[in-house]
Amino acid sequence: MHRTSALILACAAALLVAACSSSNPAEVRDDPNSFPVVAHWTAVSAPIAPATVSGQLKFEQRLGFRSDVSFTVSGPPGGVFQWRIFKRDCSVNVAAVNNTAPVGLVLFATTQSYPDVTLDASGKATINTSIAGWLDSLTGYSVRIRPTATSTFNGVNPAACGNLQYAPAK
> What pLDDT shows up at residue 35?
87
Global pTM value: 0.80
Q: pLDDT class for 149, splitting at 50, 70, 90? A: confident
Q: What is the pLDDT of residue 5?
A: 57
pLDDT average, residue stretch 138-158: 93
pLDDT tens string 15-66: 555 555 545 556 665 665 578 999 999 999 999 999 999 999 999 999 988 9
Round to whole Å and give the CA distance between 129 and 158.
Answer: 21
- Burial code (b: 16+ CB inside 10 Å, e: under 16) for 32-48 equals eeeeeeebebbbebebb
* Band of residue 106 on the pLDDT scale cut at 50, 70, 90: very high
Show the domains of the chain with their CATH numbers: 35-168 (2.60.40.200)
> For 113-134, how does the pLDDT look when each residue is reduced to its tens digit (9 = 90+)?
999 999 999 999 999 999 999 9
Q: Is the pLDDT of residue 158 over 80?
A: yes
User: What's the farthest any 2 CA atoms get from each other in the chain?
Assistant: 91
For residue 62, give every residue at least 6 positions away whose Cβ sits within 8 Å of its Cβ, in sequence order, or none: 32, 35, 36, 37, 38, 68
What integer is the mean pLDDT of 103-118?
A: 96
| Phi, psi angle pair for 58, to nearest 5° | -130, 120
Q: What is the distance between the alpha carbons of residues 18 and 7, in angstroms, rounded to a whole number?
A: 17
Q: DSSP E strands: which ranges in the chain?
A: 37-47, 54-62, 66-74, 80-87, 106-107, 117-118, 124-132, 141-147, 160-163, 165-168
Mean pLDDT, the chain, as a whole number? 88
